[in-house]
Amino acid sequence: MNQEGSLLPPKEFLPRHIGIIMDGNGRWAKQRGLARSAGHRRGAEVFEQIIHDCTDIGIPMVTAYAFSTENWKRPADEVQGIMNLLRSYLKRVSRFQKENIRLRFLGDRTALDDDLQRTMADAEAKSAANTGTRVNLAINYGGRDDLVHAVRALAELAAQGKLEPGQIDEQMVSDHLYTAGMPDPDLIIRPSGEERLSNFLTWQSAYSELVFMDVLWPDFNREHLCRALMEYARRDRRFGGV
């Protein structure tokens, strides 16, 4: 048990890599008569706590879906608020050093403001030598866009005569995704009551265990995390075998 009494599986049954779809901030705020921005602020606080919990439990890698390629369709003030939250979060880089967290960003940064791109690169560089939990934030990320990004890179190599199309295999595609060099997620958790991946890690989730939970992200806590880990530990992962 952990300090709150929540059950945890033995360490050998913990996932190496967890994906989290942080969903439900807007609905949480609406239920309380608050602006959607209040939900996003609370969601950011929960994210920090859950990363701390994952570090404490011993999860090597966490990838959190923070802003999708489809989220640009939201009202401009809401998008700007989310980006400002990210700015605020990244200004506290010293926290990553304290917890030995290595931070990395997944997605197309070119659509983001220049100052935010610089801050993201700086946070990655300053935490690059850290050896604790690896935290990946998916910003302007979409699973299909990730695949297009990889296909274009491979097509460019073929056009340059550096690659024959027949040489392309699954490993080569994986090596050109934003997640190159990372293990695929063993477990993907989606709170909010929705039961879909919503364009998150489309290629990488082929054999992920999926746990959907009927709790909005701003209410998600360590107990919910532990329940998801226990559910994962009960699954029989055969990867197509018997």
**Cα gap 235→221, rounded to integer Å:** 22
| 71 has catalytic annotation | yes
Contacts of 157 (CB under 8 A, 6+ apart): 163
The CA-based angle 42-46-48, given to 5 degrees, is 120
Q: Which residue among 23, 53, 145, 186 is the active-site one?
A: 23
**Cα gap 67→150, rounded to integer Å:** 20
Q: Which residue among 2, 25, 56, 71 is the active-site one?
A: 71
| 100 has catalytic annotation | no
* Element of type H or E holding 67: strand 61-68
Torsion of CA 215, 102, 137, 144, to 10 degrees: -120
Torsion of CA 14, 194, 140, 218, to 10 degrees: -70
What region does 58 belong to: left with phi over 0, alpha with psi -120 to 50, or beta? left
Active-site residue list: 23, 71
